[in-house]
Amino acid sequence: MSNANENDSEREKDVCRKGTVIYDQLRKMGASVDWDRAVFTMDPKMTRAVTEAFIRMHERGTIYRSNRLVNWSCTLRSAISDIEVDKKELPGRTLLPVPGYSDKVEFGVIVSFAYKIKDSEEEVVVSTTRLETMLGDSAIAVHPDDDRYKHLVGKMCVHPFVDRLLPIVTDSFVDMAFGTGAVKITPAHDHNDYEVGVRHNLPFITCINDDGDISAGCGKFSGMKRFEARRAVAEALMEKGLYRDKKDNPMVVPICSRSKDVIEPILKAQWYVNCNEMATKALKAVQDGELKIVPEAHVATWNRWLESIRDWCISRQLWWGHRIPAYFITVNDGGKTPIGDQCDEKYWVSAHTEDEARAKAAKKFGVKPDQIQLKWDEDVLDTLFSSGRWPFAILGWPETTADLSTFFPSTVLETGHDILFFWVAKMVFMAQELTGKLPFKDVYLHAMIRDAHGRKMSKSLGNVIDPLDVIRGVTLESLHEQLQHGNLDASEIATAKAGQTRDYPNGIPECGTDALRFALLSYTSQGRDINLNVLRVQGYRFFCNKIWNAVKFTLMQLGSDYQPPSPFKLSGSESIIDKWILSRLANTVISCEQSINEYNFTQMTTAVYNFWLYELCDVYLEAIKPVTSSTDGALAANRDAARNVLFHCVESALRLISPMMPFLSEELWQRLPKVSNAPKSIVVAEYPEPQQYPFASDSLEADVAFALTAIRCVRSLRSDYELTYKQKTDLYLGCHSAEDRSTLTAFSSIIGTLACSNNVKILDDKDSVPAGCAHVIVSSRCTIHIGLQGIIDISKEIAKLETKKGKAIEALKKIETDEGRPDYEAKASLDHRVRNQEKKEQLTKEIANLVASIDALSTSSA
């Protein structure tokens, strides 16, 4: 079997293996897509689209060939894109592992050495973090205004290891204040030096080969590995007396994300895309509002990248990808046409097939097709070039298909903010260049998921979270086992295991898909990064349980013979609490619609969470129990109204959470009674819209909020006295305002139900409070008293309150003593003084309440 066939076979296995995992994750996560339209990058129709795109752009001159510096991975022996480069920040001297080296390599230092001036005793000292590249130096640059070197400009430095003279040139890019103010120039291995080399017409000397070894022509260092040569060059400089010093130097080391090798800038003949015109159009699209980027904060990143756009290298030396449809031409015409250079655009032609390429080449050089010899470029295209035309290629482009006419441009692209420039911009470029249209109207950029500590997920740290592990749950032992199947070495596995043990001592609990989806949506307000805490996801699993139980309760209250009205309408028999929950539902629908329109998914999750948990379950379901469970014929109309409201709220709320919790909502929605024209699935049911819920009432919600505040205070007071649900108490609510008394009177039955009270009485300023009551001040509008006579041991409670009061008084005295110090104002920080003041106010209020409670209880025990 040929090597090409072996590569093809391995590629197909890799595609099948990785594709299966990704598809499985997407299905388990509840992705709602048309699986029949699944497309793979290397499918024939996609390959045709890529080929057509390259040919059109090449023939327009947008794609061209040039000899420039690229990000080179010596391990992969390929150029890689910027998106595949990880930037490792170093604070100073650091030893890093490098593929192919048994010992770690030193980085984060800067070495200074001297170049001697030809025919002079003078020298120029330069500094570098990549000492081995001095073998490719072709000049020394100084700033034109630097008086220290003006007398040396134009003179030559002698290279100590090769027969080469280096001219001293002036260039304004040099920072006179950095180091010695003199800079070694290596045009073939540094991006800044490349520009200097072009400006001064310097020789481009390659000193590092594709495999990372030192090139021929570098003296005794030729054939050495580049980082072994780094040490050898330093030793040789020391021997010649040219080595000056080595210092710590904070720096960023570019690392290949795939091979983990240190990236080398290397000069290569490659294919490039001229991005200037496309970038200008893309900038204008955002500025004019034709393309919307959400969150808006990322617009600055978009502008920054595109305003400083560079041409895009699209060649890759890999066995995976779309082969570049370009052919190098040799003309066999007896020497009339000279043999071309690989960098010369004149000798290249692009075509769908070799026959087409031969015909184009023959026409280009004015010869017969049989005089043309072709060599198909062995490189493949950058993945981002292939995926850049995804929005329209998947719909049949370059053909004019029904799908393309119907679905292109699309409405929204959702992706991570880290590839805004690398992928999103490329799709905008390609769509405008090849179709004349923007590929989508909105770009929604989600945050990047990090671990609970804010660290980037890394296999070596053991903090990578597989979504399927969160969905299904996994033991700590299984997490450890997964590390054995990765590509970590023994020391990294040990570190990763320790990290997993620290973060997941009991493994990861089973949370389910819906809880994970809801958690991720709720996290979107965190901005650029999401610190994913699995315990929070587990909390949303409990929320799912709450919804399940709420629907179970609803079905019990409705009964097996319940038939929901269609459409829902008010009957006139609805209670205040029925109208309130409908108002809350209406406002929740409004909030959800607004959230979707604004891509504010945190607001959306908050709205539905509060409705289900705090309003429907905690209040409404409890409040209607006496009504829906009553067999009193006089309450029949109220009971029917409550059931209809209950069904309407639950059914609507399930549709509200359907996009967030598709599995739970579908399962529960199918269990509800159905109207005659109900759709078969909640997935295709109409999403609630505000105009369908004309029930919002701000005044009613304000009244209920007042009553609920009182109820919460009663519950808190009952908790203080450790009263059980079965221990019913008398409740007295004192209000100064007649309007407030009227409001609470209207809610008295609901307050009694939710506050576990037998008798609820509303008092004015003239009414006296019975003996044996504990009390709490709700606000300036209301004071609560609960009757405890005969329910608790009054003397014991007074003793407890006296103890609490004593502790509060002691704490208050400590603060007052602290504030009484002569140097308090001068030495105490502002934060400390503010905390003291807040604590004093809290303790003063607490003491007043305790005194009042003791007085009230003492009256009853006297």
Strand partners, 293: 443
What is the 3-state composition of the chain as percent helix, strand, coil, each rounded to the nearest 5? 50, 20, 30
Helices first, then strands: H and E counts in the chain: 27, 29
Question: Please, where are the H alpha helices in 622-688?
Answer: 622-628, 636-657, 662-671
Q: Reply yes or no on whether the pLDDT at 430 is more than 90.
A: yes
Instruction: Name the pLDDT band for 1 (thresholds 50, 70, 90).
Output: very low
Say if residues 701 and 584 touch (Cβ distance below 8 Å): yes
Say if residues 632 and 617 touch (Cβ distance below 8 Å): no
Q: Reply yes or no on whether the pLDDT at 5 is more than 60.
A: no
pLDDT digits (tens, 9 = 90+) for 383-420: 899 999 999 999 999 999 999 999 999 999 999 888 89
Average pLDDT over residues 625-648: 91
pLDDT digits (tens, 9 = 90+) for 680-700: 999 999 999 999 999 999 999
Average pLDDT over residues 572-593: 97
Residue 798 CA: distances (Å) to CA of 389, 831, 851: 78, 36, 10
Tell me the pairing of strands 243-248 and 85-90: unpaired
Q: Reply yes or no on whether the pLDDT at 634 is more than 80.
A: no
* Phi, then psi, of 352 in degrees rounded to 5: -75, -35
Handedness of CA 474, 476, 478, 481 (dihedral sign): positive
> What is the C-alpha separation between 278 and 425, in angstroms, rounded?
9
Tell me the pairing of strands 94-96 and 315-316: unpaired
Q: Reply yes or no on whether the pLDDT at 3 is more than 80.
A: no
pLDDT digits (tens, 9 = 90+) for 731-767: 999 998 999 999 999 999 999 999 998 889 999 888 8
Average pLDDT over residues 1-27: 64
Instruction: Name the pLDDT band for 18 (thresholds 50, 70, 90).
Output: low
Min mean pLDDT across 442-446, 502-506, 530-534 is at: 530-534
For residue 58, give every residue at least 6 positions away whose Cβ sits within 8 Å of its Cβ, in sequence order, or none: 64, 326, 350
The secondary structure of 82-113 as a DSSP string is: GGGEEEEEESS-EEE--TT-SS-EEESEEEEE
Please give the residue that has the higher pLDDT: either 555 or 36. 555
Average pLDDT over residues 55-84: 92
pLDDT at site 526:
58
Please give the residue that has the higher pLDDT: either 186 or 39. 186
Tell me the pairing of strands 729-735 and 757-763: parallel
Average pLDDT over residues 200-217: 96
Handedness of CA 292, 294, 297, 302 (dihedral sign): negative
Instruction: Name the pLDDT band for 291 (thresholds 50, 70, 90).
Output: very high
- Three-state SS sequence of 347-380: HEEECCCHHHHHHHHHHHHCCCHHHEEEEECCCE
- Exposure class string for 132-155: b at 16+ Cβ within 10 A, else e: bbbbbbbbbbbbeebeebeebeeb
> What is the C-alpha separation between 53 and 653, in angstroms, rounded?
47
> What is the C-alpha separation between 830 and 812, in angstroms, rounded?
19
pLDDT digits (tens, 9 = 90+) for 22-46: 888 899 999 988 988 888 888 899 9
pLDDT digits (tens, 9 = 90+) for 223-259: 999 999 999 999 999 999 999 999 999 999 999 988 8
Q: Which residue has the tokens 């209020």?
A: 845
pLDDT at site 835:
92
Question: Is the preceding omega at residue 673 within 30 degrees of 0, hence cis?
Answer: no
Q: Reply yes or no on whether the pLDDT at 11 is more than 60.
A: no
pLDDT digits (tens, 9 = 90+) for 760-803: 999 988 888 887 788 888 888 999 889 888 888 888 888 888 99
Handedness of CA 211, 217, 220, 221 (dihedral sign): negative
pTM of the complete model? 0.80
pLDDT digits (tens, 9 = 90+) for 506-527: 999 999 999 999 999 998 875 6
Cβ-based burial of 260 (10 A; exposed 0-12, middle 13-18, buried ≥19):
middle
> What is the C-alpha separation between 80 and 59, in angstroms, rounded?
25
For residue 612, give every residue at least 6 positions away whose Cβ sits within 8 Å of its Cβ, in sequence order, or none: 543, 546, 547, 550, 653, 657
Average per-residue pLDDT for the chain: 91
Q: Reply yes or no on whether the pLDDT at 278 is more than 90.
A: yes
Average pLDDT over residues 551-559: 96
Average pLDDT over residues 430-455: 90
pLDDT at site 130:
97
Give the residue from 106, 140, 90, 133 showing the smallest Cα distance to 265: 133
Instruction: Name the pLDDT band for 19 (thresholds 50, 70, 90).
Output: low
pLDDT at site 771:
79
Largest CA distance in the chain: 127
Provide the 10 A C-beta neighbour count for residue 692. Answer: 13
Average pLDDT over residues 600-612: 96
Whole-number percent of the chain with pLDDT over 90: 71
Q: Reply yes or no on whether the pLDDT at 626 is more than 80.
A: yes
Q: Reply yes or no on whether the pLDDT at 4 is more than 60.
A: no
